[in-house]
Chain A
Amino acid sequence: MADQPHKVASRPLSPFLTVYRWPITMATSIVHRMTGVGLAGGILLLAWWLIAVASGPETYNDFCNIVATPLGQLVMFGFVWSLAYHTVNGMRHLAWDFGYGFAVPTANRTGILVFLLSGLLAMAFFILAYTGKGGYYQ
C-alpha cells in the first residue's frame, strides 16, 4: 500500500453531513439546534416589541408597520414556527431524558409528528391572525 499513495480515494468515508443520507432523527436534531439559535434572534424581536410599547405610540406604530411588511411577516412566521418546533421537539427530548421513545421506529414517527405538528401550529396561528380570530385583547 505504501507504494500506491494515490489509492486513498477508495477508503470508506466518515458519515459527515454532506456524504450521508439524512435520517429523520438527524434532521430533527439539526433543526432543533437551528431553531434554537434562530430563537435568540426571536427574543430580540420580542424585546424590540416590548421596548417599542414602553417608548410610546409612535415607536410602537413604527414597529407594527415594519412587522406588517411582507418581509416582516415572513420573519414573524419563521419566529412562530421556530418557537412551535423548538417547544414540541423539546418535549420529545424531555421524553427521551426520561427514557421514553428511544426505539428507532418510534423516534422516526415522533420526528415526523414534530415537523407536522409544528407546521400546523404555526399555520394555525397565522390563519387565526389573518381571519380576525386573534386580537381578542383589544
Chain B
Amino acid sequence: MSLETPLRKAQGLGSSHSGVNHFWRQRVSAVILIPLTLWFAVSALGLVGAHEASVLYFLSHPLNAVLLGTFILTALYHMALGLQEVILDYVPHEGAKLLLMILNHGFAFAVAAACVFALLRIAVGT
C-alpha cells in the first residue's frame, strides 16, 4: 500500500524530488570508471620513476591523453555525486549544507579546469 497520490506515483520522483537520477548517474559513472581505473593503474605503474620527457612522450599519444582526461573528468563527476551524498547525510544545518554543496561542485569544476588546461598545455607543447 502506498500513501502517494496517483499524480505523485505517475511522476515517480519520490521524496527526493529527482527520482533515481542521482543513484543512476552514480552507477553509470562507476561502471565507466572500472576499465578506466585499470588503465590508469597500469599506466601509473609504467610511469613510476619516469623522467619528465618520458611522461611527456606518454601523454603525446592522443589515446593516452584522451583516456587520462576521460578518467579525471569521470572521476570528478563521480566524486561530486558521492561527496554530495556524504554532505546531505551528515550536515543538518541548511546554510552549511548549501555552502558545502557549492564548494563541492566548485572544487570539482576547478580541478577539472586545471587538468584540462594542463593536458592542453602538454598537447600544444608550451
Q: Which residues of the partner chain A approach B59 to less than 8 Å between Cβ atoms?
A: 53
Pair A134/B72 contact, Cβ less than 8 Å: no
In the complex, the chain B residue whose C-beta lies closest to that of A90 is: B30
Which residues of A are at the interface with B, using a C-beta cutoff of 8 A? 33, 36-37, 39-40, 43-44, 46-47, 50-51, 53-54, 56-57, 60-61, 80, 83-84, 87, 90-91, 93-94, 97, 125, 128-129, 133-138
Is B118 touching A135 in the complex (CB atoms < 8 A)?
no
Residue among A43, A94, A125, A134 having the largest count of chain B Cβ atoms under 10 Å:
A43
Chain A interface main SS type: helix
Residue of A nearest to B38 (CB): A87
CB contacts (< 8 Å) of B119 on chain A: these are 50, 54
A50 — which chain B residues lie within 8 A by C-beta? 68, 72, 115, 118-119
- Find B51's partner among A80, A84, A94, A138 (CB 8 Å cutoff): A138
